[in-house]
Copies of this chain bind each other. A is one copy, B any other.
């Protein structure tokens, strides 16, 4: 997940549209393109040294993925989510990822649990730095999702996570440090999955995402 600000020159075999898509998504996820920003296709095009059409396509795709909003004849703006919408996205992820855990409990093995344990340690050590924390946090959740035998479900969960990332980043920057309880939260989650009981695991994950993430984001800052 590199987020280099400058021109990602078209590497071998990468289409112009893919380049534009990757560029814009990275700008949005990183927060460099803030919500509400008006994105002019022509500017992006010349920044990347390509024409406007592939940029248009990238914008359309990003908009149907929720990252941008296209207003007819008035261009595209980076989707600015209000607290309600952010809350709704977290809620959806909570529900979906909760269900994913139900499936994970019956598919994860010793190795998977060990990996999650390691990820938890990394997460604890990464508390001071926003980028590290987000990366480690994603990896912790991914450690479980890797064992969920539902590719589309996993893709959707990750999509939602990306969509909310800029706001998580903002919040973390404000509070500067993730709390100690974050680690405790995740440790409890891990043990719920270790229990092997699908219902317990589902509930734990649902509550975890709702509690930790939504509360911190919506009520504390943003």
| A residues at B contact (CB < 8 Å) | 15, 17, 53, 56-57, 60-61, 64-66, 72, 85, 88-89, 91-92, 95-96, 99, 150-153, 156
Which B residues are CB-close (under 8 A) to A64?
A: 61, 64-65
Which B residues are CB-close (under 8 A) to A15?
A: 72
Give the residue of B60, B72, B91, B153 whose beta carbon is less than 8 angstroms from that of A60.
Answer: B60
- Beyond A57-B60, A95-B96, 7 additional contacts (C-beta under 8 Å) are A61-B61, A64-B64, A64-B65, A88-B151, A91-B99, A91-B150, A92-B152
Which B residues are CB-close (under 8 A) to A53?
A: 53
Closest CB of chain B to A183's CB: distance in Å?
28
Q: If the complex has contacts A15-B72, A57-B57, A60-B57, are A153 and B88 also in contact, measured as CB distance less than 8 A?
A: yes
CA–CA, A85 to B53, complex, Å?
32
Contacting pair B92 A156 (CB below 8 A): yes
CA–CA, A61 to B62, complex, Å?
9
CA–CA, A17 to B56, complex, Å?
12
Which B residues are CB-close (under 8 A) to A17?
A: 60
Which B residues are CB-close (under 8 A) to A56?
A: 57
Which B residues are CB-close (under 8 A) to A153?
A: 88, 91-92
Q: If the complex has contacts A65-B64, A96-B95, A99-B95, are A88 and B150 also in contact, measured as CB distance less than 8 A?
A: yes
Closest CB of chain B to A136's CB: distance in Å?
27
Which B residues are CB-close (under 8 A) to A66?
A: 152
Contacting pair B57 A88 (CB below 8 A): no
Q: If the complex has contacts A53-B53, A95-B95, A95-B96, are A152 and B89 also in contact, measured as CB distance less than 8 A?
A: yes
7 CB-based A-B contacts, threshold 8 Å? A53-B53, A60-B61, A61-B61, A64-B65, A88-B150, A91-B150, A92-B153
